[in-house]
Amino acid sequence: MYEFKLYVSKATARVESDIKALHCILSKTLNKNYLLKVINVVEQPDEAVKDNICMTPTLVKISPSPMRKIIGDVSKLEMVMDRLI
């Protein structure tokens, strides 16, 4: 099972679009064998501090190891998947 966290700073139409696109590509690539948790750092600042997140958006692959982070634009899905999987 792959586990990801997406840290965002606010809920916007672009963020919602990116989340849907991430779900789509993860579902196709990983055969629905993933968990994507979205964390709004304004509402949950302790999560960002705990995980040492200082910029949004940040997509983190938690497992399987090694942990990897993509900071910034996550709309380029092919690039994101190449770096995470």
Statement: residue 84 has pLDDT above 90: no
pLDDT of residue 9: 92
Domain 2-84 in CATH: superfamily?
A: Glutaredoxin (3.40.30.10)
Dihedral angle, C-alpha 36, 19, 33, 48, nearest 10 °: -20
pLDDT in tens, 19-48: 998 998 889 888 889 999 999 999 999 999
Report the predicted TM-score, pTM, of the whole model to 2 decimal places: 0.88
